[in-house]
Structure 1
């Protein structure tokens, strides 16, 4: 692998599977390459994108995420969609598992169930793919579905996307705002945390509100992980993490993946891509200062967000690597930030 593509990036979050589920891409597009989206195999190879957590997300008929282009300077507050019906969500999630199988059969990904398997896949011609479900609407209050999902390869779960679930409440797409909005986990939510711990499924705190995160921190025996969130001190968006929350993550020996969504990076909260990577580096510096250099990585939100123009898609990751190098990131730290820290927290979470 060329020096500018090594070490490979492992990513905390992408929505590429959703592109296929919504008929905006085909499995063949991900294998052969296409002119839309952020991730396909040729661009991954061109950019040193080794893989990541690939999400199954169940969309609302029309929700806040569809309206990000309406975000304006000075502030915004998009109402959250209503809670989803479980049967509808379960059908969509089952289709998502089928997409994973199709992508693996076509040679685009290797589905990974352990950190060891991720490490091997990062050195292969396929993308390493850890199955993640973003929002637990497909799971009932007794969590019975969780064991089946785990057997099918699920290794990471977000109890909520931003809309509420029977397990807890998420944060709205609101700027400026903290995530201190709404109540904590329900009894079903606390049961879900315990079941995830039992099965060694990573619990993703991105999108969960502040009281919910406090409840997870009090209950969970695993590292606290926010797969795609940024620093509130740099961008005061409800989706970002305050220093208090970052200290919780550090105390648990957890992990934060830097989200490339423009509105969660820019200090003005706008969903506009015309800004330099110096803004992202400010988040990187702040996160390292609070949680330490062993607990920060990438959580791109590719295929689910408007990313900085200097990155554009996964083929643009050498520009991020170059910006970090110019910023003083040496080879050892680069390995940690690109994938080493993710491998560490996966091993610790999954008991390897």
Structure 2
């Protein structure tokens, strides 16, 4: 994390994506558990570092990896097909429930400090009270059965956002690979069950996240959904030609729907060369922000860090480094109002427009 002084007042950040619940669960299963309540030098987010960085909350993802042992993950190349192996619905649901239970336990362990939020009003109240606002999100819908019984139960428990697919195929859609350079047009779109999932999410008021879906799947959702289009953690394909990023045509559709794109901090989705290099200047994030604002407008760009799931620029380091990024926006000529929109207001706006 950058140790350069940040003289400006702390700006709250509501972030579109992190994998902290997964990281905590995997650590415990590997016998290397750490506390979320106490400050750590491990991973990216805990409560003390969140307070230092102005991290007021966000969408906390529940993602089920194909490989769930940290030691095995470290031993496999990023492109190894075992990372993208398909999951059975029962095993995905079991692991999702473990992460959801972990979120509830964090709320209980830190009464008055952490709050599971089920509406935009809950988020505003939590931020006003200085509580960490956690919105529960599923990244990749493998936990959902074809009859949608699990979806009903998870929604009743507090789920408020879902990405139909991660970067592997499931019964709902194809996902984009972590390919560079590549178009996002890499496979098929929604299946019939995927279309049913979109309709059900619209009726239930669940956010639909498009960050890992193929370009065909994106357009399938755009045709079906009556809610704002959201890509919680994606960047501009025009700057970094990764399959995980969004083309200008996709950005224009998100703008038309009054949706939102959250800027992903993963260096391989930021850099023109697609390298996994933490020595990536913050000006690279500013370039993506400039491009996204030019296509979407100032009200439709936010942050989607991917903390605890990616390699972030060394100048940010962890959640405590968020002020360094906001200072980079300030140095690039962004005014206080625009910085506040990107940091938190735009996310709250799109959540409200989505009916939550």
Q: Post-superposition shift, 1:350?
A: 2.1
Pairwise CA RMSD of aligned residues?
Answer: 2.1
Matching residue of 1:18: 22
Verify: 1:343 aligned to 2:339, yes or no: no
Cα distance in 1 for partners of 2:62, 2:176 equals: 19
Cα distance in 2 for partners of 1:21, 1:236 equals: 32
1:7 paired residue among 7, 11, 18: 11
1:238 paired residue among 238, 243, 257: 243
Give the unaligned 5+ runs of structure 1: 72-76
Q: Post-superposition shift, 1:69?
A: 9.5
**SS of corresponding position for 1:155:** strand
Q: Post-superposition shift, 1:82?
A: 2.3
Counting matched residue pairs gives 344
Verify: 1:104 aligned to 2:110, yes or no: no
Verify: 1:285 aligned to 2:258, yes or no: no
Q: Post-superposition shift, 1:123?
A: 2.9
Verify: 1:276 aligned to 2:296, yes or no: no
1:70-219 matches, cutoff 5 A: 79=81, 81-107=84-110, 109-219=114-224
Matching residue of 1:74: none
State whether residues 142 and 188 of structure 1, in contact with CA within 8 Å, keep that contact through their aligned partners in structure 2: no
Cα distance in 1 for partners of 2:115, 2:99 equals: 15
Q: Post-superposition shift, 1:78?
A: 5.8
Q: Post-superposition shift, 1:124?
A: 3.1
Cα distance in 1 for partners of 2:34, 2:42 equals: 13
1:265-344 matches, cutoff 5 A: 265-344=270-349
Q: Post-superposition shift, 1:6?
A: 3.2
Matching residue of 1:53: 59
Cα distance in 1 for partners of 2:38, 2:115 equals: 16
Matching residue of 1:38: 44
Classify 1:206/1:336 alpha carbon distance in 2 versus 1 (closer, same or farther; 3 Å): same
Of the structure 1 ranges 197-206 and 272-281, higher mean CA displacement relative to structure 2 is found in 272-281
Give the unaligned 5+ runs of structure 2: 1-5
Q: Post-superposition shift, 1:184?
A: 1.0
Classify 1:87/1:346 alpha carbon distance in 2 versus 1 (closer, same or farther; 3 Å): same
Q: Post-superposition shift, 1:23?
A: 1.9
**SS of corresponding position for 1:278:** helix
